[in-house]
Amino acid sequence: MPTIRLFLILALLHHLPAFACEQQPQCSDCPETSGLTAELSRFYGMESLIGEAYQDGDYDRVKALSREYLALAADHKCDWNYGNAIHFSHRILGLVSLETDDVASARQHLIEAGQSPGSPQLDSFGPTLDLARAMLSRGEHEAVVEYLEGIRSFWEGREETVDDWIQRIQRGETVDLHPNQHGTVGTLTLYFSLAWPLIVTAIFWLGTRRYLPNRWSFPVFSILAGYIAMAVGGIMAGPVVVALMDIVSVDLLAYVATAAAFFSQYGLPVLAVFLIARVFKRRA
C-alpha cells in the first residue's frame, strides 16, 4: 500500500536535515543547491533507465548506465540519492554478472552494494535482496554475510532480523532473505499504519454516537472513507512531490516529502471521517 511506504519514510526524513554532509562519506564541503539541475535530474532518473534496460535484457546498456550512475554518484556524495546509487548500481551489475556465470564479479558487486551508506529509501524500506538470495543459493555464504553486515548499519528497525539471518547462515541453516520479515518495531509500525482509519473512526464514533440515528452505519462508512482517503493520498503524494521538484529547492524537498507523507497517512483519513461524521450528524 503506497501510504504504508510513505509512513515508513517519515522517520528518516525527520532526521535528515536530509542533505547534511556528515551523512555521506568523504564529503567535507556540501555545495549550495538552489534547484533541480539537469545533471541532478539525470541522477535521479537513472534507476528507471537501468531497470528498463535490464528488463529488456540489454545488458551492455545496463552496464554502461550503471557505470554512469556510479560516476554521477561520485559527483554528488552529499545528495540523499548517493546511497541508492551505490547499492542499486552494484546490485544490478552483480545480477548481470550472474547471467554470464561470473560469480567472482557478482561477489565483488554484492560486497560493494553492502558498502552503501544508506538513503531515505534504503533506511526505511530496506534494500532489494535478489542478488544476495542468488549468491546464497550458489553457496557464497561469506560474501552474503559481509553484505548483510553492511546493510545492517543503515536498515533501521531491522537489526534483529539481519542478525538472525547472519547467525543462521553461519550455522549452515537454510535462510529465506525476504525484506518483509519485520522485527518488533517494524511490525508495530505496520500494524499502527494499517489501523489508523479504525482508530480515527473509533474516536469520532465515541464522541458523536449519541447524536446518530443509526449508530452502526456510521463506523462502516467512516472506515471505508478513511481507507479510501489513505489510498488516494498515497497514490497522489508521490506525483505531487515530483512535480514540486522543479520549483522547490533541494534543501526543502525533504520537508515537502515529510508533509505530504504525514498528510496522506494521517490527515486525509481524519478529514474523510470528519466529513462522514458531519453528514450523519446533519441527518440526525
Provide the CATH number for the domain around residue 161: 1.25.40
Based on C-alpha coordinates, what's the Rg of the chain?
22
pLDDT the model gives residue 208: 77
**Domain final residue, candidates 146, 181, 216:** 181
Does residue 174 share a domain with residue 262? no
Q: How many domains does the chain have?
A: 2
Same-domain status, 169 and 257: no
Of the residues 165, 181, 197, the one at which a domain ends = 181
User: 158 lies in a domain?
Assistant: yes
Please check whether residues 116 and 133 belong to one and the same domain: yes
Structural domain containing residue 133: 31-181
- Measure the CA–CA gap between 155 and 278, rounded to whole angstroms: 43
Residue 18 lies in a domain: no
- Do 250 and 150 share a domain, yes or no? no
**Cα–Cα distance, 79 to 36 (Å, whole number):** 12
Residues 173, 276: Cα–Cα separation, whole Å: 53
Same domain (yes/no): 192, 161? no
Whether residues 189 and 269 share a domain: the answer is yes
Reference 93, options 134, 138, 136, 124; nearest CA is 134
The whole-model pTM stands at 0.63
Place of cell 534507476: 47
Q: What is the pLDDT of residue 207?
A: 81
Q: In terms of C-beta density within 10 A (0-12 exposed, 13-18 middle, 19 or more buried), how is residue 31 classed?
A: exposed
Indicate whether 37 and 169 sit together in one domain: yes
Residues 236 and 158 in one domain: no
- The answer on 35 and 165 residing in a single domain is yes
End position of a domain, from candidates 153, 181, 209: 181
pLDDT per residue, tens digit, the chain (284 aa), is 444 444 334 434 433 433 334 444 455 445 555 456 889 889 999 999 999 999 999 999 999 999 999 999 999 999 989 999 999 999 999 999 999 999 999 999 999 999 999 998 898 888 999 999 999 999 999 999 999 999 999 998 889 999 999 999 999 998 989 766 555 555 677 788 889 999 999 998 888 777 766 667 888 999 999 999 999 888 887 777 767 766 766 667 767 777 888 888 889 999 999 999 888 877 76
Q: Is residue 230 part of a domain?
A: yes
